Every structure is written in C-alpha cells, then in structure tokens.
Amino acid sequence: MIRQLHSADLHRVMEIWLETNIQAHSFIPQAYWQENASLVRELLPQADVWVYEQADGDIGGFIGIMEASFVAGLFVDSNIQSGGVGSALLSYCKQKYPELSLHVYEDNIRAVRFYEKNGFTIVGEMVNDATGKQEYVMQWKSGSR
C-alpha cells in the first residue's frame, strides 16, 4: 500500500535513507551521508512524501516530491530492492504529477538504468556542489511512456 508519510514513520524512513545512500553511493564518503541525516530529517516534512507500506506494516521504501515535480529522493530497503517497490512508488507519482524531474549521480549506474527503464530521459548534466560529483538531470513527462 502506498500512503502519505506519518510522523511515526520518520525513524524508519531515515534508516532506509541512510542505509540506501551509503550502499548506492560508494564513491561518496559514508560520513557525508551521516553528517547530512539530521538536515534531511528536518526537510522531509516540507516535501510530499509517499511511503510503501508492506503487508506486515513495515515501510519498504519511500519517495519525496518537492515543488510539485522534483523527485528529491526515491529509496527502497536494500532487502527488497528489485522487487517492484521503486517502480510502484514512481508509478503512483506519475498518476499524481504530470511531469517529474530528478538528479542522479552519473556513477550510480543502477539508478540511472532504473529511471531510464521507468521512462525518464537525461536532459542535462551538472556537478553536485556538495560532493563535487557529476549528476544527470533526468525528466519524465506524462504521455512520454
């Protein structure tokens, strides 16, 4: 089931956020994610956050949308990745928003391929100011796929 974030979900969502970032971004020091966790925890309530609640009630993943179309992050518990949770969250948001954009690290090849498979195209490149790493700007528009 996909539903809005409740305040009681925040701890679990942050666990998934930290674990997934460390795992997916081996090219960025782990300390970067640990140091930014408190800021992310503060900013989450400012986004539209949708969680994927599993049958047992545990949160399996989440997606955050800022400013009505920017995917600030999509994270799935590493134990259930490649099981359709990320695609389900994206599909849900595609029904709610006519277009979506995001930034993804160029070195995160698995994520780039995932977004391409889900209809996103690379529309630009940039350097992330905080990490100095190259990112793709990707976009999806309703009717594009």
| Cα separation, 33 vs 22, whole angstroms | 7
Determine the average pLDDT of the residues in 63-83: 93
Specify the DSSP class assigned to residue 65: E
Per-residue exposure over 58-91, b if at least 16 CB sit within 10 Å of its own CB, e if not: ebbbbbbbeeebbbbbbbbbeeebeeebbebbbe
**pLDDT beyond 80 at 145:** no
Q: What is the pTM of this model?
A: 0.93
Q: Are 103 and 135 in contact (CB under 8 A)?
A: yes
| Cα separation, 28 vs 67, whole angstroms | 26
Q: 45: pLDDT confidence band, cut at 50, 70 and 90?
A: confident
Specify the DSSP class assigned to residue 94: H
| Alpha-carbon Rg for the chain in angstroms | 14
User: 93-121, pLDDT tens digit by residue?
Assistant: 999 999 999 999 999 999 999 999 999 99
| Cα separation, 2 vs 61, whole angstroms | 9
Q: Which domains does the chain have, with CATH numbers?
A: 2-141 (3.40.630.30)
Return the pLDDT at 144: 61
Return the pLDDT at 68: 85
Q: 27: pLDDT confidence band, cut at 50, 70 and 90?
A: very high
State the chain's maximal CA–CA distance in angstroms.
40
Q: Which helix (H) or strand (E) holds 20?
A: helix 10-24
| Cα separation, 55 vs 23, whole angstroms | 25
